[in-house]
Structure 1
Amino acid sequence: MEKDREARLKPCVILFAEITQIDFWKQELDTEEYVELLKTVFDRLDEAVKLYEGNIDKHEGKILMATFGVPIAHEEDPERAIKSGLLMLNQISKLRQKLKKPLGLRIGINLGRVYAASVGSKIKSEYTVMGDAVNFAVRIMDFAKENELLVSDEVYQITKPVFEFSEPMRFLPQGAQQEIVVYNVYRQKTGFVKRRGIEGLSSPLVDRKQELILLANFIEELFSGKGKIVLILGEAGVGKSRLLEELFTQSLSMALERVKNINWCIGRCSPYRESLYYPFVELLKQICEIKTEDSEMAIMAKLLTSIEKLMGEKAEEIFPYIAELFNIKLVAKYEEKVKYLKPEEIKLQIFNAISQILKNYAERNPTVYCIDDLYLADESTLELLRFFLQTYSGINALVILISRPEKNKPFWQMKEQLKNEMKFEEVYLKPLTREETLELSKNLLKIPRLPEDLIEKIVNDAGGNPFFLEELIKLLISRGIIYRRGNEWVASEREIKFDTPYTIEGIIQASYDTLSPELRDLLSEMAVLGRAFNKKILQGFTRFWDNLDNLITQLVEIGYIYTNNYQDYAFNHALVRESIYKSIPEKKLKELHQSIAKTIESMFPERLAEFYDVLFEHYAKADCKDKAINYALRAGENAQKCYANMEAISYYLYVLKELKPDNEENNKIIFETMYKLGGIYSRIGYSDDAIELYERALKIASTTLDRVKILDATADVYQRISDYEKALKIYNESLKLLIDFSDDEKFDTWLGIAWIYYLKGELKEARNVLEQILRNVKDTSSIQTKKKIARVYNQLGSVYSYIGEYEKSFEAYNKALKIYEMLEDIPGISVIYNNICGYYTRQGDYYRALEYLNKSLEIDIKTGNLLARAIATYNVGDTYFQLGDFEKAEEKFNEYLNINSQINNQLGNGYGNFGLGNIYFEKNDIPRAEFYYKKSYEIFNKLGSVMMANEVMIKLAEIEIEKGDYNRAFSMFEELEKRCEELFDTEGKLTCIIGKARAKLKQSFVEKKLMVTHLYTALDLLKIAFDYKKIDYDNETKFVINFYLAQVYYYLTKITEAKDHLSTADKILKELLIKIPDGEPRNIYLKKKIYCEFSDFKSLLKD
């Protein structure tokens, strides 16, 4: 028909069949007879194609080409093509036997996307399909032997539940570079065929509990002798069959409990033009136990036996009408009963015979009659169904009718009419929610750590449809994106790209092809607009503007689109939109994209900023490059402001790919785009990409300041990956270029250098540079200068904190925070939130610190700044460590190490291992603690981070105390104390003094003769620590010093002094506990090693 002849890109099954050995007949027949024979053969082949609603594309010589899916798609086109091919082979076999001469056929079937269009001239044209899929179908046919039907792997994967196949065969067609995998089709499988589901995978029923309970109640009533009619409605793949499977299983259990039988008879409406009243014939076959392979004699015997059992004396009256359904040739006594009846009278007798058999069978045992796929039912089947329901409404059976809610189908109209005539229950299965779809996918795969982007795509594309979900997972398995490792499923790390599976696309295209040309064209326009779209924009470019409301209403009613406000619409399924979009030919697609972009520009001239991303997409797909580049730059800036990093990257990459460096203006745009893109790469941890991009930008930098800008950015990347020497070298290159420039121009470079000094532990140098920058700043009015000053204060805060000037540190951080808040600089605010937490942890206010850290993390996740996120994650872990929650601390440290591996943050690996060492030290797992400390030290030492390397060595000295080597521990602390002095690390120096005292205290317990000497040495050291004025040390340190003093005085038998310091320590501990919530958090905190020792010592002193 003309409505199906528009040009489209469609999935299609292509069948080629070549008649073999027919040339033998040329010698025996004249031309006219030979042509007549050829026509006879082609008539048989054509009938096989038409029976399964395929399309005869052409006859060429001895070859037939047929298509299934073009021009009209059906859900099971691959299955139809194979059935058609098997019927062709059967017909040729019969013809060969009849002619008693050689005659054969070989068939090849392939599946793929084709371009379907009319080709030729205005005078003569033909509608055909073109593409690689067609060529491969020919190759497969050529490879087939006589009387073989070969199919491609794509066809095999879809139809393997339905047919029996050979093992795979491979061949390399001439001129091809890759082998083709094919299978020989033997026959159709017999018995029940499960077409859906994933082999080896299963899931409990998800979100159908209420429906299952309702249906199980109907089974309960059935056992009590009460029948019912139930209609189950739901779109394709939503889970109707699965619900029925669950009900079947549950009903058998219920029957077993009651020591009763329950019969299930299931008939399905066929999409093919098969026997009359097909689903009812299926019910009768089950009642009479007729098998597919039974001969006509066996069928007749089974029918007679079963009907006699069920109908008694009436059997002879009923049998002829049932035999009619099975095309059984009647003997004379039965033939007489039907011979003189009119067609309408025979039909009535058939209806009555079937209905009586179903009624009597249900009276023997509780019975469930189920008729599925009623949306496919023809008028005759529906007429019989109506008769059965109206005549035997009181039957003792549960009659379950299953259909899709397709309102344009005859069954829907019949259902609406029956509502007024009889009572029946309706169960409507809605699509699963996002959470339920996610649960189902996890049930099926049981993969604990599927990549988030893979989960997102699967769940979004499935759109709440279990069948769509299963088919997407099947596709992922076939592509190796999900695969088995041992007994579990895992996800590969390859880039995730996959198209709509054919099984889903077949459903979509079959429905789409039944629509009017207007609705199809309007859906195409909607698909180009996007998954979600605005009616006003659609109205601005559609050619159906004058009838738009009516057409939209129709599409809403039949379930293609939905709306909440009658202005904004969306496709119900992403895959439906994708399938329709892919079917639009390229030329038409570009025209539509351009038309949409122009419509938006004309409609919203004052609001274009809202549409930069949309306009870029449409102009890019319309191949209007100048416009696309313009909007890509603007969309990239918008994306950066919103921290949509991946989107910004895609826009900037498009600009760099499409913009030609053929003039000065373009070169400037390319340079700035490279700079912006490099900054994003650096922030999200793509260090190599950033460096490579900056190297390219440096080559096209036109001014000294541009070169400095790129050099400083490159140095920052090296700083982020902990290559401090390389970073310093590049910063110094910048300074050489800036020798004749003002101090303001050197601001960024000096700031970068100061940060490197800080990270290396060269705090004096860092402080000097930062304070000098503040002295040299003259104009502080510009926003850029304010940002730089904030960075100076932030770095000074970190330096002051390390050298023990905590109030100065807090003051510097707050100055930075005020500037960032004034400028609404979100990343800057995040940095301060992260850094200021140290002040609160020193006060013992750990939960306030966590509050700031979580705010920082929230911003870092939003902005995609992986380095900042890593640092905040470490600090969260360290805060949990100080709270004594080692489980949470370890989880965060491991998360931190995982982020570091993504961004190549080597310094971070040192911190992560240091954190793990601290945890195992607290757990008294000294070997593991030592392992992580040494690993951490190697990293810090290699990177030149002397401050952190020194801090790790202090912990290794503490390890020596735990190992009992007190002299070694003491000498290590002595050496490290000197090193701390050189580094201005006053807190580290205090830790060394306490460490030496602890070593002597422990040593006094094992060297009894020198006990007093060791204790007095410890006492002298603890007095120095107690009077330490260089820093205002935290309460936990005060607690430790007083606790150790109490121990030393006790063992020196100075009980009064011991009790005084014990009382002070106890008071400090109570102050610390004020800020720890009562209950479990406080119990966890008090389990820290030092507090357990304190508790034991208190008991000892009391005794």
Structure 2
Amino acid sequence: MNEREQLEQAIAALEAQRAMLGDAVVDAALGSMRATLATLQQERAPEQRKHATILFADLAGFTPMSERLDPEEVRAITSRHFHEVTPAIRRHGGRIEKYIGDAVMAVFGIPTAHEHDPEHAIRAALEMQQALAALNDEMEPEWGLRLAMRIGIHTGLVVVGYLGEDFTVVGDTVNLASRLEGAAPVGGVLISHDTYRHVRGLFDVEPLEPIRVKGKAEPVQVYVVQRAKPRAFHLRTRGVEGIETRMVGRAAELLHLQQALRAVRAGHMCQALTVIGEAGVGKSRLLYEFRSWVELTPDELWLFKGRTAPEMTRLPYALLRDMLAFRFQIQDSDLAEVARAKLVQGLLDFLSDEPEAEMKAHFIGQLLGFDFSASPHLRGMVADTKQLRDRARYYLSRVFTRASEQAPLLLLLEDLHWADDASLDTLAYLVQECRALPLLLVATARHTLLERRPDWGEGQPYAGHHRLHLAPLPTQETHQLVDEVLQKLPEIPPALRALIVERAEGNPFYVEELVKMLIEERVILPGTDGWQADPARLADVRVPPTLTGVLQARLEALPADERALLQQASVVGRVFWDSAVSYLAEQEEAQVHQTLMHLRQRELLYQHEVSTFAGAREYLFKHALLRDVTYESLLKPQRRLYHARAADWLNAQGRAQAEQYAGLLAQHYEQAGERAQAAPWYRLAAERARAAYANLAALDYYQQLLPLLAEPQQIDILLKQGMVLEVIGEWHHAEESYRQALHLIRQSGSDSPPLVEEAHCQQMLGSFFYFRWRYQEALECFEQARHGYALLGDQVRLSRALDSLGGLWLWQGEYALAQALCEESLALRRTLGEQAGMSDSLLNLGAIAYFQGNPTMAWTLYQESLALLRQIGEKRKIARLLRYIFKIPYEAGDYDVARTIAAESVALSRKIGDKRCLAIASGYLGLAMIQQGESGLGWSTLEEGALIARELADPWLLAEVLGSQGLGAYTLGQHEAAERAITESLHLLQEKVPVRWHSARLLLCAALVAAARGEPRLGWERGQESLRLAMELDIKSGLAYSLIALAGFLQTPGAALRLLAGAMEQLRGAAAPLLPELVPVRERIIQAARAEMNPAPFAATWAEGISRPLPQLIADARLCPP
């Protein structure tokens, strides 16, 4: 060891003893030693200033402990200590600069600096503490002691002196690292803010109060590192030329976000905030600062993070997929089975003790495009796209529910204006469904989001969802931002400041980009020790008047090879991969990587820590606007060439990846002018979107596809487009699409294929008209479909057409015709063994029997249908069928059975996310509860059903649920509430939904309500209308019910008793039970007659009523209005 090294080691040893000896003693001793060292250092090779990370580690309390040990024991202990803990330094790329007694100093970043040196130093420090803990377990039995270590880490400029391959490191950075080691908690790792800003987001840290350090004018902010994050996402320092800048002018908005998270953590309801602002106004910076603040809060939470890009707008559920891929570390380059396994495992971690957890994970995966179509849990479900969507969304809400039981949830979503509609719909659903959970959603978006979703963030769909608008910075705050960005200038020339403030117009991104442009134009000259300005050059610089112009100027100033590569990257998208750009540029990846590194140094690009394609580096344009400007700078022939290569590269990544990005592939091929190549990908993208119930995306793809096809090829697409338009409620356009398909079919001739297509088209048009209550048009279409399928010998589709015709006649009250058609359909389906179809036919036949007043037959048919559905696992149809079955025991007064049936329907509907069925079943369950005496619970269940029905805004659904609510209110004696509900229901049925059977039943209830409210004349009129409809529809039980209700309005007890007796006989003949609401009417009539008559006249009157024919009973009911 030479003289210089001995002197440096002595100085370091004294520094290590500062805490024990005191500053005065150490400083006095160091004065002459440092002077001597300075003389020796002049003889060495030229020194260099470099950025490095310094680590000091020292055993705490070891000196007094060693005084009671033999020197050889001390040496043995320290040797074992260094042997165990120092390998971690080397594993992470550090170099041990020196040992000082029981302390060690290590350097990261010399001789070669790496971007991740601060991270590597911290990971080494954590492993050193772990290694010491393991060593203690071994030494304690032998020596009876446990060692403890402090570690301090600081990052900054150091002076490096070289002597051959050896080097020494000195400077303020070294001194501060040593002081941090002395201030660190025993067993802890203490880092400075200059280190922390390089590793923000990678470790769990605890911020401490700033500490006073000798030689520093201001206190030093420090952090204790607790552990590495299991799911880390690096938060890069924001600024210019690597200089950290504070956020300016957004303190109130940041406080708003912080208070929202505090409220969520305090147990308040879900909060959703969408930050709205124009490009460059500071949305991402605000989110960054919020995330940085969250990093330093002690409480745990679940983080879900996602970002969209323009090319994702048409990809169904792309944002949600990105969010879960982040959480579960799924890469786009993962094999399909690997991606599925990661997703399922990630979801099961939250759903571990949830019933049927794997099934729920598979539904979510199928919806998000991970292709679980082969899963036994999805048997029969893949084609039922609405059920798939509804159940998957509900199961996703269960994931959030279970996760929230462990910790609050934080969803951070960027660039929502480019999000696909399916993701936006699902986010709205989740915010509503999870409104009672500790969940905070923070999203950023431009104002264009509000053009698509005008109500977004204004209490829609949930009152806890708000907008947070970011306006441009005021002039004073723009001045502050310029000062912050140019903090390295000793003095900012007034002309330079005025130029930036005036041109930026309060846009922070413009400020940063303009400063970078001025650096490139050498108006501002960055340096290691500070910056300089050259005001003379400012007059010669042409500063563009807009942000786009500044970006264009920066782009034009790039070397040709860098500009060309950036343009090629812009074709791939805002997010891109080096392997893709290498393919587009036809360059080696090493060469591309070098150029991309230069573009990163110019702060035009970021590199993601983790790539979604394994083996490729993933990059991101710093701002979406920069990507747009770069793309627009390409000439059209270049664009076509690069789009074709981008499509080829994506296609080469594997079939699963290509299918996932089918829509993007189609766009690349179309923009390349290769329409024939684009068409099959658009078709695939549309089918995948429709299968995921992402109807707007499917419609968009169909509309892109149609112009690429010849007319005969358009027919199938027009039919599918019509189905999508029908689902989203675009009735007029759906009909146009179907009719256009029919026109093309008839244009093509009369040979066999068009006959098949026409039959399909007529069946679809018939269903369209049927659900729009245009029965005559539906009848014509179904008849033509039936005729076509019969000619073709297509028994499966013929059975479907027959069942459709049967259902149509059923709702028009033509029961004999309906029954014949449904029985023919059932016979065909039994022959074909088509169980799902058989269950449909049996349901229709059961409904016919019920409406004709034969509940026993209806029960038998319903039960056979139910057995088939349970066998094939059709949960949606089971839930629906149970609603039909409910009415039979309910009307028979068997409320226990009725309640059990309704409760199963409610539970199933909730499980699969079928809100339509849930609304009706909740109404039925509420009625059964009320009849069992649970009035409070029953009424709240009825109200829940009505709330869901209003939310869905379906007239027929709302009319049905309001009818139940009205009946429930009548049973409870709440006659005003009953009148309101039934009146609204009748209005919907008469104005919106021409379903006359429902009107007949509601009018009956309305008559009873009017009587209870003391309006007998109105009640009698409603009863007469109910009777008229029952006669028209030939509903035998309905006729009897109306007659009983009307008997209650007759003035003389004898006439009322005679009509009641005749109606009860008609009811017996129809094998129908007396409705619960009519029981009090019957009892009241009998009681009044007994009060007026002796037993003999009473019996004679009853016998007379039984013997009267139906026409006479009807005539009796029409006499003597009150």
> Where on the TM-score scale, by shorter chain, does this alignment land: which range?
0.3 to 0.5
TM-score, with length taken from structure 2: 0.44
TM-score, with length taken from structure 1: 0.44
